[in-house]
Amino acid sequence: MAAAAQNTPRKFVDIFLDEECWRDIFKGYDIVDVAVLDHRSLHFCLKQAIPLEEASMLSDADIPTRLVVLYTDRPAGKNCGSIKIDGMTSPRVGVSRPPFPRPSGLVAARGWGGDVYPRGGGIEGPLEQIAPRKPCITERLKCINGFTYAAVRGRGLYKRVDLGRWVPFDAGLPKSGESPKMGFQDIDAFSDDDMYAVGGEGDVWHFDGTSWKRMHFQDKARLATVTCAGDGNVYISGEGGSLWVGAKSRWKPVCKGNSNVSWNDVLWFQDKLWLASDDDFCHFTSGGIERVTHDGGIVPMCGHMDAHNGILVIADLHRVMSFDGSEWRTLVAPYGTGW
């Protein structure tokens, strides 16, 4: 991102989070995921930044994890809090919203039982489990109409129906063992009776309100994300950053990826499709996939993103920026290092 940083508009450097809070919470940690509860409440998962040689001797669960809440409408010193959570393997962050009781942030571990810790909205734990006594590699937490769904490797889907209670959401899914050809990596929906789940090698499924049915997908590429977009189309991304558009069993490729990484997150915001990976931050337009720019400069970000309630938030390992459709705002950035 060094080249992009040279074109960074100066106003991006004005940082919302004060230096003392950054040193207490973010310094020495990497941001690994982000979720937006609403326009004022943002949730992050952090992992301690450990030298590669030392990290190679540890399991991911042994590396300290922090769950952070950042409030964008509170003054300095009162706008950020964190807790330490032990034993979280490759965590994913999500949220629950109304009509679910007591909305909150959630962080899920990828491991046995699918540990989930809720925090925020007056909630502080206790630890929940998505699938007690079962392997549960949670690839994504997605909030749909207030309820949180977990997309789990091996064609697993679960819905959080109450505090501490997750139930299988698998009507119509075959009861079979895990295979690299099987989903799921992501889930999204237009409504409760028009939902999609994808993953594996071209493993695409649709839920009609009663049961899941497998859809035809002509490519056996590894699939990463699914987005039910505001233009009425469904977008699926896959290995190398490839992108398809369609619905049900009719899909066409719109971009052949040539990256070494897939998109982490693809979402619809302000009448555009936005895409974020570990290397890039882009729009999809009629001209193809293009880097996100603002006021003549590249927005110098990549990583993970989320959007809700009129705000888009993107986080790389050390910085967080938000966009309200008009202006970009730097929420978190290292002090004393520049961009």
Residues 57-94: pLDDT tens digits? 888 888 999 999 999 999 988 999 999 998 899 999 99
Is 269 within a domain?
Answer: yes
Is 36 within a domain?
Answer: no
Q: What is the pLDDT of residue 275?
A: 98
Note the pLDDT tens digit of each residue in 133-182. Answer: 998 999 999 999 999 999 999 999 999 999 999 999 999 999 877 787 89
How many other β-carbons are positioned within 10 Å of the β-carbon of residue 96?
24
Q: What is the pLDDT of residue 101?
A: 83
Is 217 within a domain?
Answer: yes
Whether 4 has a pLDDT exceeding 50, the answer reads no
Q: Report d(CA 20, CA 29) in Å as an integer.
A: 15
- Provide the H-helix boundaries in the chain: 2-6, 19-25, 52-55
Q: What is the pLDDT of residue 339?
A: 53
What percent of the chain has pLDDT above 90?
77
Q: What is the pLDDT of residue 176?
A: 72
Q: Report d(CA 92, CA 32) in Å as an integer.
A: 8
**Which residues on adjacent β-strands are paired with residue 198?**
186, 204
Specify the amino acid at residue 148: T
Note the pLDDT tens digit of each residue in 224-237. Answer: 999 999 999 999 99
- SS3 state at 19: helix
Given a contact cutoff of 8 angstroms between Cβ atoms, the answer to whether 297 and 321 are in contact is no
pLDDT band (50, 70, 90) for residue 338: low
Q: What is the pLDDT of residue 243?
A: 96
Q: Report d(CA 56, CA 45) in Å as an integer.
A: 21
Contacts within 8 Å (CB) and 24+ apart, 118-125: 118/163, 119/43, 119/67, 119/69, 119/83, 120/37, 120/41, 120/43, 120/69, 121/37, 123/163, 124/83
Whether 8 has a pLDDT exceeding 60, the answer reads no
- Token pair 């063992």 is found at 177
Straight-line distance from the first to the last Cα atom of the chain, in angstroms, rounded to the nearest whole number: 9
Instruction: Tell me the CB-side half-sphere exposure of residue 84, using CA atoms within 13 A.
Output: 9
Q: Is it true that the peptide bond before 9 is cis, omega within 30 degrees of 0?
A: no
Note the pLDDT tens digit of each residue in 264-309. Answer: 999 999 999 999 999 999 999 887 899 999 988 999 999 999 999 9
Is 21 within a domain?
Answer: no
Whether 202 has a pLDDT exceeding 80, the answer reads yes
Longest dimension (CA), the chain: 55
How many other β-carbons are positioned within 10 Å of the β-carbon of residue 225?
24
Is 41 within a domain?
Answer: no
From the list 196, 202, 206, the residue with the least C-alpha distance to 179 is 202
Number of domains in the chain: 1
Q: What is the pLDDT of residue 127?
A: 93
pLDDT band (50, 70, 90) for residue 3: very low
Q: What is the pLDDT of residue 6?
A: 44
Is 112 within a domain?
Answer: yes
Whether 113 has a pLDDT exceeding 50, the answer reads yes
DSSP state at residue 21 = H
pLDDT band (50, 70, 90) for residue 24: very high
pLDDT band (50, 70, 90) for residue 11: low
* Beta pairing class for 250-255 and 242-247: antiparallel
Given a contact cutoff of 8 angstroms between Cβ atoms, the answer to whether 220 and 242 are in contact is no
How many other β-carbons are positioned within 10 Å of the β-carbon of residue 237?
29
Instruction: Tell me the CB-side half-sphere exposure of residue 267, using CA atoms within 13 A.
Output: 21
Higher-confidence residue of 191 and 180: namely 191
* Least confident piece of the model among 2-16, 94-108, 151-165, 185-199: 2-16
Q: Tokens for 63? A: 């590396």
Q: Tokens for 171? A: 């009507």
Is 110 within a domain?
Answer: yes
pLDDT band (50, 70, 90) for residue 12: low
Q: Tokens for 107? A: 């962080």
Q: What is the pLDDT of residue 233?
A: 97
The residue range of the domain holding 320 is 89-328
Is 143 within a domain?
Answer: yes
- Token pair 């009507």 is found at 171
Q: What is the CATH number of the domain that holds 291?
A: 2.130.10.10
Whether 105 has a pLDDT exceeding 70, the answer reads yes
How many other β-carbons are positioned within 10 Å of the β-carbon of residue 179?
12
